[in-house]
């Protein structure tokens, strides 16, 4: 293999991630030529409506996966939180990267924290998961749609369109905007998206040479356990961006602890559970967490959210 093509979105964050992977691949295989193929996805093209109203489970992934299937690319670099629980047939995850900080971050112009925002403050986010948890904490807030890449969202904050915006701390950190974080939201306030902060490296199934190189350059086995637990939970819940779902797994000594959440978009009802067990049982923990939430009535929430989909 002399040349490897990486498929990626064209946002500043996606390009940072692709370049990061490119550098790691070249370090692993000196002399390898790595090229980037920039792919515009459905999520990139539809910017005037909330993601929850667009529908579908692969808004930032489908066109990139098609590039792999068409052999226009050999490897795809995704933010793992954008990757559906079920991959397109013929594709597989070659590697799971080490994670950046998984939490959400509140950004304001003057450093104000969530509890310090004035009553009725306008908070920008494109995520029903974030909306649910913010309103559960502060039902007086006005949640307003916010789309666009990281610099665009910060520019809208600075222009006064919002009193605060909520973004992934990982993206802010990777792009050099960590100083814009007014408050890192703790998990008891805003549990993160499944696999937030982790990169997913996707290839064609059975492409042994690319898979071996990618795993050698990027794979983090401990992070993979966390991701398996969280993504299994997501798969068993059967949810999408229309349903506020969140999960985060972390190591506590010899145990893997999984926190999971399902709520209504208005934050009026938020269900939580915590399960733990050996890291090698990560998939079982995901099933256990989903089962616990479904027993609390999460199925009704998922069904109601799906029924509201256009």
- If DSSP codes are grouped into helix, strand and coil, which group holds residue 45? helix
Q: Does some domain include residue 194?
A: no
Q: CA-CA distance, 107 to 150, in Å (whole number)?
A: 11
Q: Are residues 275 and 146 in the same domain?
A: no
Domain CATH code at residue 55: 3.40.190.10
pLDDT above 90 as % of the chain: 84
Q: CA-CA distance, 204 to 78, in Å (whole number)?
A: 14
Regarding predicted confidence, which is higher, 284 or 59? 284
Q: Are residues 88 and 112 in the same domain?
A: no
Which tokens go with 276?
């733990």
Q: Per-residue pLDDT for 284 more than 90?
A: yes
Q: Are residues 57 and 91 in the same domain?
A: yes
Regarding predicted confidence, which is higher, 60 or 45? 60
Range 292-298 average pLDDT: 97
Would you say 249 and 305 are in contact if contact means Cβ atoms under 8 Å apart?
no
Q: Does some domain include residue 192?
A: no
Q: CA-CA distance, 127 to 8, in Å (whole number)?
A: 22
Q: Are residues 90 and 212 in the same domain?
A: yes
Catalytic residue among 74, 82, 207, 259: 82
Q: Does some domain include residue 193?
A: no
pTM: 0.91
Q: Are residues 52 and 114 in the same domain?
A: no
Q: Are residues 19 and 70 in the same domain?
A: yes
Alpha carbons within 13 A on the beta-carbon side of 94: 27
Q: Does some domain include residue 8?
A: yes
Task: Give the strand pairing for 3-8 and 75-79.
Answer: parallel
* CA nearest to 89, candidates 218, 4, 206, 195: 206
Which tokens go with 152?
């665009």
- If DSSP codes are grouped into helix, strand and coil, which group holds residue 97? coil
pLDDT of res. 90:
96
Which tokens go with 106?
């509140």
Would you say 272 and 260 are in contact if contact means Cβ atoms under 8 Å apart?
yes
Q: Per-residue pLDDT for 120 more than 90?
A: yes
Q: Are residues 122 and 69 in the same domain?
A: no
pLDDT of res. 55:
52
Contacts of 170 (CB under 8 A, 6+ apart): 99, 100, 101, 102, 196, 197
Which tokens go with 302?
């998922």
48 is catalytic: no
pLDDT of res. 147:
84
Q: Are residues 30 and 76 in the same domain?
A: yes
Q: Are residues 74 and 210 in the same domain?
A: yes
Q: Per-residue pLDDT for 1 more than 90?
A: no
Which of these ranges, 46-50, 57-61, 295-299, has the smallest mean pLDDT? Answer: 46-50
Domain CATH code at residue 237: 3.30.160.40
* β-pair partners for 201: 77, 95
Q: Are residues 111 and 73 in the same domain?
A: no
Q: Does some domain include residue 190?
A: no
Host domain of residue 180 = 104-185
Q: Does some domain include residue 173?
A: yes
Longest Cα separation, the chain: 59
Q: Are residues 172 and 126 in the same domain?
A: yes
pLDDT of res. 58:
61
* Strand ranges in the chain using DSSP code E only, listed in sequence order: 3-8, 33-38, 75-79, 91-96, 104-108, 122-125, 142-145, 164-168, 183-185, 199-204, 245-252, 255-263, 270-277
Q: Does some domain include residue 191?
A: no
Q: Does some domain include residue 204?
A: yes
Per the structure, the count of domains in the chain is 3
Q: Are residues 7 and 92 in the same domain?
A: yes
């Amino acid at each position: 293999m002399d040349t490897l093509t990486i498929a990626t979105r064209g946002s500043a964050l996606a390009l940072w991630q692709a370049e990061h992977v490119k550098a790691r691949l070249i370090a692993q295989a000196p002399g390898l030529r790595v090229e980037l193929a920039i792919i515009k996805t459905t999520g990139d093209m539809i910017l005037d409506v909330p993601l929850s109203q667009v529908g579908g489970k692969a808004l930032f992934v489908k066109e990139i996966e098609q590039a792999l299937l068409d052999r226009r690319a050999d490897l795809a670099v995704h933010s793992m939180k954008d990757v559906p629980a079920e991959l397109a047939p013929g594709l597989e995850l070659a590697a799971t990267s080490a994670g950046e900080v998984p939490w959400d971050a509140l950004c304001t112009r003057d450093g104000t924290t969530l509890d310090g925002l004035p009553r009725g403050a306008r908070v920008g986010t494109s995520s029903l998961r974030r909306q649910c948890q913010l309103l559960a904490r502060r039902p007086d807030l006005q949640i307003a749609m916010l789309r666009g890449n990281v610099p665009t969202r910060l520019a809208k904050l600075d222009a006064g369109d919002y009193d605060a915006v909520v973004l992934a701390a990982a993206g802010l950190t990777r792009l050099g905007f960590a100083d814009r974080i007014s408050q890192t939201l703790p998990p008891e306030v805003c549990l993160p998206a499944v696999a937030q902060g982790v990169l997913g490296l996707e290839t064609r199934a059975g492409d042994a040479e690319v898979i071996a190189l990618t795993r050698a350059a990027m794979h983090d086995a401990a992070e993979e356990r966390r991701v398996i637990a969280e993504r299994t939970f997501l798969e068993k819940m059967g949810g999408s961006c229309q349903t506020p779902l969140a999960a985060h797994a972390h190591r506590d000594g010899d145990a893997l602890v999984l926190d999971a959440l399902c709520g209504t978009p208005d934050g009026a009802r938020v269900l939580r559970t915590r399960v733990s067990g050996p890291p090698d049982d990560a998939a079982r923990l995901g099933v256990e967490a989903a089962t616990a939430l479904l027993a609390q009535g999460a199925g009704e929430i998922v069904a109601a959210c799906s029924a509201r989909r256009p």
